[in-house]
Amino acid sequence: MSLNIGQLRKDFPILARKVNGKRLVYFDNAATTQKPVQVIERIKHYYTEENSNVHRGVHHLSQLATDKYEHARQFVASYIHAGSAKEIIFTRGTTESVNVVASLFQHLIGAGDEVLITAMEHHSNLVPWQQLCRQQQAVLKVVPINEKGELDMTALKNMITSKTRMFALAHVSNVLGTINPVGEAVKLARKKNIPVLVDGAQAVAHLPVDVTGLDCDFYAFSAHKAYGPMGIGVLYGKEEWLKKLPPYQFGGEMVDQVSFSETTFNNLPYKFEAGTPNVSGVLGMEAALKYIEEKGIGNVRDHEDELLDFATRKLSKTEGIKIIGEAREKTAVLSFVVNGVHPYDLGTLLDQMGVAVRTGYHCAQPVVESFGLTGTVRASFGIYNTLEEVDVFVDALKKSIALLK
C-alpha cells in the first residue's frame, strides 16, 4: 500500500494556510513537524473529558487519566520495541533525555575516563557530554566522519578503549541526513562493555526504531519531531541501567516512603518522573505515533526517500549548488550551499515565496564548520510533502539565486 498524500494532507490544518500570500511549502520538518487533527483532537479531548492529576486520586477522573497515561507508556514501549514499559521515562524531549543520562553518569565517570561522541552531533548530544567531561576531568573524544558525512567505523573501532565510559551518537544527523549504522556501532561498543546512548530525534518519524534489536542502552527522542506536541519526549533506558542509576530529580511521584529523616524511592519508571507529568503531551505523543503506525513507517520511508531522491537530483543539476551530506544511507534531510550566496539571504527570499526552510548551523556548529562553512540551507521532508512542492521549492530557489547573484 502506498500513501494517499492528497488525503493525508487534509489531516494537517496548517498546510492549508498561506504564508506571505503563497501556499505554504513546509520543508522545516527536522526542526519540528506539523500536527494532524488526530493529535490536536486528542489533547482537546483530554482537557474536555479526562483532565485530572495522575497516580494520586481515588476518584473517577484521576483513575481515568492514570489509565490513559500508563496505556500511552505501554504503547510507546511497543512502538520502539522496548522490553517493557518500565524502560520508558517521559521527559521534555531529546535534550532533557540526554541531560538526564549525562547527569546520572557523573557518578560513573572520573578523571582520565573517556566519553565518545561523533563529529556530526547536534549540540544537545554534545554539550552535555562536554560539560560532564569538564566537570569530571574526563576526556571527550570525537569520532570523525568522511567527506560524504559518513561515520568512520575504523576510527570508532580504534577509539573505543578500556577508558571509554559512554558512546553517544545520533541515529540520523539533522544536518547531513546520514543514517548511522547504530546496530554495528553498538556491537563494537558491546565487545568492551561500553554503554551506548542513541539520539533518535531525527529517526523516530522516518525509520522503524527497534531499541531491543539495536541493543542500545539508552535512546532519546522528542514527540514534536514526529507529529506530536512540543515539550514531551522519551528516554528509553535498559531496565538494568535504570535500576542501577540513582534518581535524577526529587519530589512527589518518585518517592515511596518519606519521613523527615529518610526517603525511599518509587519503582521504575516513576523513580525518574518527579512531579506532575505532562499528561496531555504524553497522550498527544501516543496519538502521533499511532498516526505514523497507521500509515506504516515503511510507506513513510519510501515516500520520503522518493522526495529526497527527486530533490537531490534536481539540486545536483542546478548550477552553483553544492550538497552537504552525501552518505549512502540518508533520510529526509537535504542540506546545501550556493556559491557566493549567504544561506540566510536565500532562506529569507524563499520564505517570501512561501517556502519554509532552515538556514545556519542547525544547532550543530562543529559539523557545519568541519565542511568549512558558516551555515547551510536545509530542506527537510515529512510525510505530507509532495513532489509538486519540491518543484515549487526548486523554482523558488532558482529565482532567489538569480536575484541574489
Write out the catalytic residue numbers.
363
Helix 297-316 crosses helix 387-404 at what angle (to 10 degrees)? 30
Distances (CA, A) of 46 to 40, 351, 369: 10, 35, 45
Find the farthest-apart pair of alpha carbons in the chain and give their distance in angstroms, rounded. Answer: 72
Q: Which stretch binds ligand PLP (CB under 6 A): 52-60, 72-80, 88-96, 322-330?
A: 88-96
- Residue 278 near ligand PLP by CB under 6 A: no
Contact between 354 and 20 under an 8 Å Cβ cutoff? The reply is yes
Helices (H) and strands (E) in the chain, counts: 14, 17
Q: Rule CB under 6 A: choose which of 25, 170, 232, 368 binds ligand PLP.
A: 170
- Residue 28 near ligand PLP by CB under 6 A: no
Q: How far is the CB of 174 from ligand PLP (least distance, A)?
A: 3
Burial of 102 (0-12, 13-18, 19+ CB in 10 A): buried
Q: Rule CB under 6 A: choose which of 34, 94, 164, 266 binds ligand PLP.
A: 94
Q: How far is the CB of 203 from ligand PLP (least distance, A)?
A: 8
Q: Which stretch binds ligand PLP (CB under 6 A): 104-112, 119-127, 146-154, 387-395?
A: 119-127
Q: Rule CB under 6 A: choose which of 29, 33, 34, 95 binds ligand PLP.
A: 95
Q: Which stretch binds ligand PLP (CB under 6 A): 105-113, 117-125, 334-342, 351-359?
A: 117-125
- Residue 99 near ligand PLP by CB under 6 A: no
Q: Rule CB under 6 A: choose which of 29, 33, 34, 125 binds ligand PLP.
A: 125
Closest CA to 93 of 292, 282, 289, 297: 282
54/172 with CB nearer ligand PLP: 172
Contact between 30 and 171 under an 8 Å Cβ cutoff? The reply is no
- Residue 124 near ligand PLP by CB under 6 A: yes
- Residue 29 near ligand PLP by CB under 6 A: no
Closest CA to 100 of 216, 251, 266, 271: 271
Q: How far is the CB of 363 from ligand PLP (least distance, A)?
A: 6
Q: Which three cell numbers stand for residue 15?
A: 498546510
176/349 with CB nearer ligand PLP: 176
Angle, CA 177 vertex, CA 174 and CA 182 arms, to 5°: 90
Residues 219 to 258: which contact ligand PLP by CB under 6 A? 222
Q: Site size for ligand PLP, by CB under 6 A?
A: 14
Q: Which three cell numbers stand for residue 51?
A: 483532565
222/312 with CB nearer ligand PLP: 222
Place of cell 567505523: 153
Neighbouring C-beta atoms of residue 280, cutoff 10 Å: 21
What end-to-end distance do the CA atoms of the chain give, in Å? Answer: 45
Distances (CA, A) of 335 to 220, 357, 362, 378: 23, 10, 10, 4
- Residue 179 near ligand PLP by CB under 6 A: no
Q: Which three cell numbers stand for residue 137?
A: 576531568
Q: Which stretch binds ligand PLP (CB under 6 A): 38-46, 118-126, 177-185, 188-196?
A: 118-126
- Residue 122 near ligand PLP by CB under 6 A: yes
- In 81-210, which ranges are E strands? 88-91, 114-118, 139-143, 164-170, 196-199
50/304 with CB nearer ligand PLP: 304
Q: How far is the CB of 125 from ligand PLP (least distance, A)?
A: 6
Residues 188 to 207: which contact ligand PLP by CB under 6 A? 199, 201-202
Pairing of strands 263-265, 376-380: unpaired
d(CA 242, CA 244): 5
Residues 342 to 381: which contact ligand PLP by CB under 6 A? 363
Q: Which stretches of the chain bind ligand PLP, using CB under 6 A? A: 30, 93-95, 122, 124-125, 170, 174, 199, 201-202, 222, 363
